[in-house]
Amino acid sequence: MKLLAVRLARSIWLFPRYFLNPKGVDTRPVLEAIKVKYNFLKTPLDVPIPASGDMKFELGSFTAKNGAVNITAMALHNDGIVVDTRSSTDDGDAFLEEVFTWVSKDYGLPSYSDLPIKRFYASELNFTLDKTPKLFDTKMASFLSEANSVLGKDRGGIAEFVGFQVGPDPTLTNQPAPFRFEREINTVFGENRFYSFSPTTTAIHFRLLDLLEKAIT
């Protein structure tokens, strides 16, 4: 597998936002300091805060373990904080941990270790495979032959594997988003370019794709 792009690495920390400021202190100095420290080009102080109370920082920079990375966005919602990068969810988590630790020390606000945080993730990757994936058992040969005649040749091409999803029973989980593996849209089949979404950290996403590649190529 050859990585083409990390489309999204999203770290989601869920908790009641009012826990961030239990005594209701003026947080404008904190917002200004975050803007300066992480070089955000846009902050909640630049635009009127919407009725929902959501606040968003955009286009910042953070020095992660392997060097400087872009913080695409950090959004504060009533039920938590979401950070988007295009490097990895590990960087998003490290960024949030640093922000919380620094703000707690310098401004007396709670540390992240004091909050009832539930962590969730979203990862999107684009990549190529060296070989065309083979997902179907030989028992599917007759179906594929018929599908090809209906969907492929009569429409100017050859019908092949497009994608699949694997997910939990949505009635038994609060995170029902499935793992997705599919051909990248508007690309020639022969290029073997793919897109994948996983409701996991970036590292786990890569591990799942590595196992999948070994199983289908």
- pTM for the full predicted model: 0.89
Tell me what pLDDT residue 153 has: 57
Tell me what pLDDT residue 61 has: 97
CB environment 165-199: b (16+ within 10 A), e (fewer): eeeeeeeeeeeebebbbebbeeeeeeebbbbbbbb
Taking the CA atoms of residue 35, residue 11, residue 2 and residue 138 in that order, the dihedral angle to the nearest 10 degrees is -160
Alpha-carbon gap, residue 184 to 194, rounded angstroms:
5
Alpha-carbon gap, residue 71 to 38, rounded angstroms:
9
Q: What is the DSSP letter of 15?
A: S
Tell me what pLDDT residue 173 has: 78
Tell me what pLDDT residue 50 has: 73
Tell me what pLDDT residue 152 has: 59
Alpha-carbon gap, residue 1 to 23, rounded angstroms:
51
Domains annotated on the chain, with CATH: 9-122 (3.30.70), 124-216 (no CATH)
Question: Average pLDDT for consecutive 10-residue bins of the chain (217 residues)?
Answer: 97 94 90 96 85 89 95 96 98 97 94 94 96 77 76 63 87 84 91 96 97 89
Alpha-carbon gap, residue 62 to 75, rounded angstroms:
16
Alpha-carbon gap, residue 74 to 80, rounded angstroms:
11
Alpha-carbon gap, residue 48 to 207, rounded angstroms:
42
